[in-house]
A and B are shown apart, each in its own frame.
Chain A
Amino acid sequence: MIRFRYLTLALTNLRRHRLRALIGVAGIAFGVAAMLAILAVVHGAIGMFERILNTDSDYLVFERKVSDLFFSSVTPDQLAAVRARPEVAEAHPMLFGIVSAEDHPVVTCFGIEAADPRLRRAHWLSGSPERFGQKAGEIFLGSRAAEFLEARAGDTVEIGRGEFTVGGVFRTENGFEDGGVFLPLKEAQAFFHREDTASIVAVKLRDAARGAEFKAALEAAEPGVMALENREFSRSYNSFKILHVTAWAVGLCAFVLGGLGVANTMLLSVFGRIRELAVLRVCGFSAGQVAALVLAESLVLATAGLALGAVLGGAVLAVLARLPGLQGYLSARLTAPVAAGVVATAFVTALAGALYPAWHASRIQPAEALRYE
């Protein structure tokens, strides 16, 4: 097998047209940075929503065949059936709603019971969990919601079409919760005209190993609801899927632009040294070796672009995470599948962008190139 050290030649070719190479690297880098940032934001958001649902629970119960949890209605009878199951240790209903406040068109509302474990786990800045639901007309704010509503305990705030007194403010690590408004479940049901229903019921089992038994029994007894184990829910929930697909699609679009940058760089590189590539053929390089040289150059661009993109993406995330409006919403956590996906996409993009230039380079006829240039 013919051995050939492509790297030196590839680096030399890139070094001599630094600006052109830099444009190719920048294309990949922006793709990487965009993808990392978008995925981190989306995964962060999904993770937070998952944590809201999963707090101290093993299973989620919700209405069967609804497209989104916001439209799910679990009736009091169904909630009672859940609670009556012998496998269930705790069951906490939660109602989701969206309202608007002045200058804030979207404020998430959570209707929960006073016994909900998230109230006890929060860090209370004013008020206390014991006060929750004790007084009619009181709402409780996450600290970021208190900040943007400019409200403190005891203040009156206008939420949607109602006026409420702030009963307390607490801080949680979850951005959605921290930016949300909490109402006692009964008040939330009245406010959102949901009668006595909840969006979901978070279920903690006495023995997590009996999950399948719980699910089968509940769904047989209450065909209107379905129970999903938390991980299974995360995998199958349509909204999460749409977010994932959207994030990858937007990221891929960024990469396509990066790929066009690489294609442009490599095409200019090949067209700019037709004679030199012809000389390589004269020196005994095969068509495949010449093509591999062009592909090796694009892989060098991809590697440099990946490194630069990772730094750029990290910097963008660091800046975003420090923006007051986004605190708690971002997760800079890079999972192995995402990292592998970004790396693979960068290399595939670079290679795809270099395919035509490589093919063109491999087709150079030495005599013709040397005769006319």
Chain B
Amino acid sequence: MNNPLAPADGRGAPLAVARDVWKSYDRGRVEVLRGASLTVRAGELVALWGSSGSGKSTLLHLLGGLDTPDRGELQVCGLDPREERARLELRRRHLGFVFQLHNLVPDLTVEENIRLPALALGAGPAEMAARVRVLADRVGLADRLRHRAQDLSGGERQRVAICRALMNSPRLLLADEPTGSLDEATGENVFALLRELARAERAAVLLCTHERRFAEACDRLLRVRAGRVEEV
């Protein structure tokens, strides 16, 4: 068997690899993934496109170590997300997450929310403050750092969530329908920002979306159907 993490000619090294991954819920009664496989390489912006309930979020969660597969191989940044210790290491140092519902802590300020991953990592206050300023500048929220998350608009909250995801300079950003709860214009802004910021930060992005226009704007488009992943 070939090493899935071996560099491929002319392309970035594989960052995330799923091979023949199966996942079911409700004691096997609901089969969501049936042998799904994919590879995401360094620097890529990959769309995982499919209808609601197709299993794209499940695959994202498995790659992010938020859930464990029934069977199949997973490797992310050289680590196996099925192992507890590896999961923690991945979340702390290698992965960033953006969710459809931004999932900010409403009573914390913008700055405090962005800092959370660095707090978990034990970063110093000065280092954190500098990094927060850089990210907030890039998304145009430098003047809103002291505002509470609950006082922001939907688009602003998602921009904060992107900053938080990038706080620890991850190598791979896992974005689960980040534009799903936004209106069309705001969604396009957030998508553009995500793409721009990921490139600036040299992070690969695996973007789950059910919106064709965003999927087609990515470097590569993977379709999730019947629990499997197809290259489009």
Contact = CB atoms under 8 A, between A and B. Distances in A.
Given A12-B107, A367-B66, A280 B122 contact: no
Residue with the greatest number of chain A CB neighbours at <10 A, chosen from B88, B119, B122: B119
A16 B120 contact: no
A2 interface: yes
A344 to B, nearest CB: 30
Contact of A365 (B67, B107, B117): B67
Given A366-B66, A367-B61, A280 B99 contact: no
A12 B88 CA distance: 25
Nearest to B176: A370
B105 interface: yes
B59 to A, nearest CB: 12
A14 B223 CA distance: 45
Nearest to A2: B122
Contacts of B92: 284
Contact of A2 (B105, B107, B120): B120
A5 B115 CA distance: 11
B91 A281 contact: yes
A68 interface: no
Contacts of A3: 122
Q: Count chain B CB atoms within 10 A of each CB in A1, A8, A284, A367 and give the residue with the most.
A: A284
A282 B66 contact: yes
Interface string B118-147: 011110000000000000000000000000
Contacts, number: 65
A3 B91 CA distance: 16
Contacts of A8: 112
Contact of A4 (B88, B97, B119, B168): B119
Contact of B67 (A2, A5, A367): A367
Given A4-B119, A367-B61, A282 B112 contact: no
A153 B89 CA distance: 87
Interface residues of A, number: 28
Given A2-B120, A4-B120, A275-B103, A282 B67 contact: no
B42 interface: no
Interface string A1-35: 11111001100110110000000000000000000
B99 A15 contact: no
A283 B122 contact: no
A289 interface: yes
Interface string B153-165: 0000000000010
Contacts of B91: 281-284
A284 B112 contact: no
A246 interface: no
Contacts of B104: 279
B13 interface: no
Nearest to A289: B120
B66 A5 contact: no
Nearest to B88: A286
Contacts of A5: 119
Interface residues on B, range: 20 to 34
Given A282-B97, A365-B67, A370 B103 contact: yes
Interface in A136-157: none
Interface in A275-299: 275-276, 279-286, 289
A284 B103 contact: no
A276 B121 CA distance: 18
A276 B105 contact: yes
Contacts of B103: 275-276, 279, 282, 370
Nearest to A15: B107
Interface string A289-321: 100000000000000000000000000000000
Nearest to A16: B107
A370 to B, nearest CB: 7
Contacts of B164: 283
A293 B187 CA distance: 35
Interface in B75-112: 88, 91-93, 97, 99, 103-105, 107-108, 112
B151 to A, nearest CB: 14
Nearest to A286: B88
A364 to B, nearest CB: 11
Contacts of A280: 116, 120
Nearest to A279: B103
Contacts of B121: 2, 284
Interface string A211-223: 0000000000000
B120 A285 contact: yes
A62 to B, nearest CB: 64
Nearest to B125: A5
B66 A370 contact: yes
A13 B92 CA distance: 22
A289 to B, nearest CB: 6
Nearest to A368: B67
The 5 A-B pairs of least Cβ separation, nearest first, read A284-B92, A284-B120, A3-B122, A367-B67, A367-B66
21 contacts: A2-B120, A2-B121, A2-B122, A4-B119, A4-B122, A5-B119, A12-B105, A12-B112, A13-B107, A276-B103, A279-B104, A282-B66, A282-B97, A284-B117, A284-B121, A284-B168, A365-B66, A366-B66, A370-B99, A370-B103, A371-B61
Given A4-B119, A284-B168, 20 more contacts: A1-B122, A2-B121, A2-B122, A4-B120, A12-B112, A15-B107, A16-B107, A276-B105, A282-B97, A283-B91, A283-B97, A283-B120, A284-B88, A284-B91, A284-B120, A285-B116, A285-B120, A286-B88, A289-B120, A371-B57
